[in-house]
Structure 1
Amino acid sequence: MKFSFALLGLASVAAAVPSPQLTNDGVSARAAWPNGPFVTSGRWILDASGKNLTYAGTNWPGHADVMIPEGLQYQSIETIVQKIKSLGMNAVRLTFAIQMVDEIYANGGKDITIQKAFVQALGQANGMKVLNQVLAKNPRFSASTTRLQVFDAVADELAKQQIYVHLDNHISKGMWCCSSTDGNSWWGDTYFSAANWTRGLSYMADHGRSWPGLTSIGLRNEPRDPTNNPSLSRASYNWEAWHGYMRQGAAAVHAAHPDLLIFLSGLSFDTYLTPVVRGQALTPGAGTFSRDEFAPGYAGKLVLELHNYENSIGSCGSLQGNLLRNGFEALQGGTGSGVVNVFPVMMTEFGFQMDASTWKGVYASCLASFLPSLKAGWTIWVLAGSYYIRSGTQDYDESWGLLNHDWSAWRSPSYVEGALKAMVRNTLS
């Protein structure tokens, strides 16, 4: 299947952005990396100089039971970030759980130590064992280091190596994500308090003011039907309620940190945003999506994000068609396209088995060409070669991880050299 990209609007819209002020030596006062804050204009994200940019990166989970970024028992933060940088990537989607912020509030405003975090997640013996491994690999830390201080150190190293941080609220209760029965599916679900969610977003956005490389935040990972809570599903699992909650979350972030781009994810595990893009009714109501309904001052901060895991799809044309219909057509627009709202769109999750051959299949190879052809940003799932704990199994091996179990090397060197590095280059060129 062929698509015309004549409507992609590849011409820069830099003229619409005010020129940055100059210092006495003639160097732009805002030209230093990351040259923010970023804004949106049509299908593009623009830096402070009005230059088009996008993300090509990976996911670094920090939302699970321990609630700190994974892998630090095996490698130092510096080593892990160097691995990311060696791919040419410019972004990391760094995930967090609302529970971390809830515990800070419950503890009188103080975060808990990583010693307590490991022990409560892994048990006394294993928790202390893994903690000591983390301290050996990352001697800047101690048992009294807090979880947020670990996030700070990760953000600091990413900034040193000029990699953007996209912070992502992945889940409410710190655990493996995601299922429709995990109590984190939808606002009002067992662990998903709307009030705690907005409080957590506000807290993390404000805390992230100290991170020079923090450029954006995702309001919620994979909203989905709470199938084990049929009354909640009937009452509010719909586009109208989604719209109201997205506005609440965006307002909380913008009030705390107005420089951030704000990513909106769709329904059904964030697999489609068609009603938003096509201006269709946000059912069961009759209203449609409008940037004007978001508070003045940050309508130019909104980005759409989608996930896709159609690993068994039979043809690249089918996958491309699905992606366009589900929201990537917002990058195109144009008369007769059916697109009402043009947006930047990014694929913040896709992934597959990291072995010698899966990357050569239809799904992976199609995305490797299609996303760069759209100049659509992406972050692959997942960097992690293993997890402190996943679904009750400690030191869980991640066969989809870019890195091997001890985070020391690429799990599939043939994929990295044969496709991934080129995908990064072609996206950012």
Structure 2
Amino acid sequence: MIRLILYLCVVSSAFSYNLPLNAGRQGDRMVVVDSNNDRVKLACVNWYGAHMEDMVVNGLDRQPMDFISAKIAELGFNCIRLVFALDTYYKNPIIRSERLSANPELIGMRAMEIFDATVKSLTDHGLIVILNNHISTAGWCCSFDDGEGLWFTEEYPVEMWEDCLTQLAARYVDNPMVAGFDLRNEVRPAHGVAAEWGNGGETDFALACEKTGNMILEVNPGMLIIVEGILSAGNLIGALIKKPELSNPDKLVYSGHIYPTSPIISDLPYDLFKMTMHTMQTFVADAGYNYSAPYWMGEFGTGSDPNNEKWDHIYQFLLETDHDWGYWSIDGYKYPDENEAGYGILNSNYSDVKDPWKMEQLRSIMPILDDHEP
């Protein structure tokens, strides 16, 4: 109980909300709310690396972990989408020391020990953590020919996916700042098999999320259950006919992704872009329907060119619609020996902001912008 009070005090002093989070209604919009029924706008950033071959978050060779967590909070983000692979959990190797050179106290630790330390560092700095199973076999994601498009693979059958997510939810049950679970990243075809929504079979992603979401809620009732659309998180239309039925319906949040490189939609004029985004993804947040639940744009991002009309459309959309979001990503590099990550907020030193113009835009969409009254 003392630990819970401490966490709530951190949250209250930094961002003024009280856990746990739930789905709620504000005017004509479904939104995420706290235990006082006050809206909490998720203004998140992704931190990756734990889903890749070395199975550890990037940047620990450049800065102390607490420095990076403090920098994220200082920039104004209130949450982190923390991605991992099933390999991270099941293989759990000792992390190579060169990936930890700025954090010598972590040298000799296994992947999940460092993942635990990352979670603690983030939440100690007042940041909500949303876990995300990004991939099964560790590596960069995503393509249509990597064999990782479904939530199960030959190496990791569905039962292992369910068990990993349930075990991680239980692992952090005493830390209410670990407030959500994004069940699987960018579901798409694998080996010629497409994910479906609502067909009742083994490729029914909505049904898989319903079952696994309820397993998670059994061991961690406070968690939001975040369900992405199919077609690489681009299509939530199936929610019109099948809403994942959770034991606590107020825990459901939908998620979608969009990039300037997203096929077809990114090429549309803004009015058509906005209409298509609503038709394909954000309609789920319209209140008063059988499918209604909050929407979170869990990934979007752009490079260093400030004159990108396709990025401008995404930014304008979030400015006008006031949806929750998670920028991809904080990271200053993809691999340590490569050039800086194109979409990253930080330089490869994990200290300085690479593109101040972009950070200025993101700060402008962090606050609640609309009461969504009709």
Report whether the alignment pairs 1:331 with 2:285.
yes
Quote the residue 2:128 is aligned against. Answer: 164
**Could you say which residue in structure 2 is the equivalent of 1:78?**
66
Residue-by-residue CA offset, 1:179-238 (whole Å, 9 max, x unaligned): 121121114444452111101101111112243421101010000011xx23x44xx645
Could you tell me how far apart the structure 2 residues matched to 1:266 and 1:275 are? Answer: 8
2:90 aligned with 1:102: yes
Q: Say if 1:152 and 1:211, in contact at 8 Å, map to a contact too.
A: no
Which residue of the partner structure matches residue 345 of structure 1? 295
2:173 and 2:353 map into 1 onto residues whose CA distance is: 33
Aligned counterparts, 1:28-427, within 5 A: 33=11, 35-42=18-25, 43-61=30-48, 62-103=50-91, 111-114=92-95, 118=96, 128=97, 130-131=98-99, 134-135=100-101, 137-143=102-108, 145-226=109-190, 229-230=191-192, 232-233=193-194, 237-240=196-199, 241-276=204-239, 279=240, 288-290=241-243, 293-294=245-246, 296=247, 298-311=248-261, 312-333=266-287, 340-353=290-303, 355=304, 358-388=305-335, 394-395=337-338, 397-417=340-360, 419-425=361-367
Structure 1, unpaired ranges of 5+: 1-26, 104-110, 119-127, 280-287
Distance 1:344 1:66, change over 3 A: same
Name the aligned partner's letter for residue 381 of structure 1.
W
Distance 1:385 1:92 in 2: 16
Give the superposition deviation at 1:402. Answer: 1.1
> How far apart in 1 are the matches of 2:196 and 2:285?
27
Cα distance in structure 1, aligned partners of 2:370 and 2:168:
28
AA matched with 2:270: C
Relative to 1, partners in 2 of residues 1:66 and 1:333: Cα closer, same or farther, differing over 3 Å?
Answer: same
Partner of 1:12: none
Contact 2:10-2:124 within 8 A present in 1 as well: no
Aligned AA (2:71): K
Distance 2:311 2:152 in 1: 36
The one-letter amino acid paired with 1:412 is: D
Residue equivalent to 2:14: none
1:275 Cα deviation after fit: 2.3
Q: Quick check: 1:71–1:388 contact (8 Å CA) kept in 2?
A: no
- TM-aligned CA deviation for residue 371 of structure 1: 1.6
Does structure 2 retain, via aligned residues, the 8 Å contact 1:186–1:192?
no
**Equivalents in 1 of 2:224, 2:276: separation in Å?**
26
Structure 2 residue matching 1:140: 3-state secondary structure: helix
With over 3 angstroms needed to count, the CA separation of the structure-2 counterparts of 1:47 and 1:318, relative to structure 1, is: same
CA pair 268-181 structure 1, distance change in 2 beyond 3 A: same
AA aligned opposite 2:164: G
The percent identity for this pair of structures is 23
Give the drift of 1:40. 1.0
Q: How far is the alpha carbon of 1:157 from its aligned partner?
A: 2.0
CA distance in 2, matches of 1:208, 1:428: 33
State the SS of the aligned residue for 2:173: helix
CA positional deviation for 1:341: 1.8
SS at match of 2:105: coil
Count of residue pairs the alignment pairs up: 350
Whether the 8 Å CA contact 2:52–2:139 is kept in 1: the answer is yes
Q: SS of the counterpart of 2:141?
A: coil
Change (3 A) 1:350 1:199: same
Corresponding letter in the other structure for 2:363: K
TM-score for the superposition, normalised by structure 2: 0.85
Q: Secondary structure at the match of 1:92?
A: strand
Counterparts of 1:365 and 1:313 in 2: how far apart (Å)? 12
Residues 1:80 and 1:258: Cα distance change in structure 2 (over 3 Å): same
Quick check: which has more Rg, 1 or 2? Answer: 1
* d(CA) in 2 for partners of 1:59, 1:428: 24
SS of match in other structure, 1:268:
helix
What RMSD in Å do the two structures reach over aligned CA positions? 2.6
Query: CA separation of 1:372/1:408 partners in 2, compared to 1, >3 Å: closer, same or farther?
Result: same
